[in-house]
Amino acid sequence: MSSAIGIVGTGSYVPETVVSNEEIAAGAGVTADWILTKTGIGQRHRAADHQATSDLAAEAARRALQQAGVRADQLAFVVVATSTPDHPQPATASLVQNLIGARRAAAFDINAVCSGFVYALAVGSQMLRGGTDQQAPYGLVIGADIYSRILDYTDRKTAILFGDGAGAVVLGPVPAGLGVVETALVGRGDQHELIGVSAGGSRNPASARTVAEGEHFFRMDGRGVRGFVQEVLPEAVSGLLGRAGLPGEQVKHFVPHQANGVMLGEVWPQLGLPNAKMHLTVDQHANTGAASVGITLDAIHRAGRLHRGDLVMLAGFGGGMNIGAALLRWAVELPQAAADGEAAEQSAGKVLVGAGV
């Protein structure tokens, strides 16, 4: 097998139900315009009552496998990045493995919250580089979350920000010089209290008291998170480029975690990527947790915005606090006939061009 490993297919899925800012605003004590102005979010998608994280993940996986032309029995592993699993155990990846029929595949979850997709990509690419069964030379990486199940809709710090969805990529052998160039994963556990769900684990088991006091809801120190991103994201981008021995001028596409469109716009000039396009789908899907990088990557790929050989940077950041970044030489260009046309271009979202220093 080629020692070069890259993305050979992408897929994503968002639930059918669309929730507008107007529907969220009243309960959170804000206006729809306030949400748009503060976050850049116009709407989000919400999972149906019968859907769990594994269902969203499996649908994104099927779409990625179809695009890649890879069968489920050719997968060496299924990795699901999520912080909203179906249940504490077994791993959500085990359910996905069963749903898609990946009988040969190992299956496990990664919980690095919103940076999870990039963490899973880094782990998966290294696993394939280490060698696999020749009958199963591919790997499946999925980011999936249903945050609508853990939100307090009276808390404006969190209720306005999140949507549900899943993004997936198939990893496999690509020609030399293409694929995953370098990855960098960093943890800042000293700031772990900025984001979290305090109840439901071994330290604070679920009980009538924890439910009554709302400790099963997601909570976030928004100001602290913004400060973390403004400090650590430029460092992560610079550090990754240094490890790869590449100048920022060569990066053509930047796909960040879609945390908050306004915040990303503020930090964008600090990243030193003057020739890059930053791709944003947060206006359509809001913050989909570990799914957001994968959803955005799939959207721009299907719209034909990525070309073979383009240098693409992915960056995820979130609870823990964790940050993950990856550099890829894009390996698979969709034929023009395979692109999804005008609808795909519209779903590919907004672009910010040319970050300064």
- Return the active site residues: 114, 257, 287
Scored b (16 or more CB within 10 A) or e, 159-190 reads bbbbbbbbbbbbbbbbeeebbbbbbbbbeeee
Contact 300, 253 (CB under 8 A): yes
Selection from 2, 7, 57, 5 nearest residue 306 by Cα: 7
- Residue where the block lists tokens 């979202």: 349
| Residue whose C-alpha is closest to residue 171's, from 332, 305, 293, 324 | 332
Task: Mark 51-77 as b/e (b = at least 16 C-beta within 10 Å).
Answer: bbbbbbbbbbbbbbbebbebebebbbb
Distance of alpha carbon 9 from alpha carbon 28, whole angstroms: 39
Shortest CA distance to 111 belongs to which of 79, 139, 159? 79
Per DSSP, what are the bridge partners of residue 6?
Answer: 172
Q: Rounded to whole angstroms, what are the CA distances from 132 to 64, 183, 246?
A: 20, 20, 30
**In residues, how long is the chain?**
357
Give the list of residues 6+ apart from residue 277 with CB closer than 8 angstroms, or none.
252, 253, 254, 305, 351, 352, 353
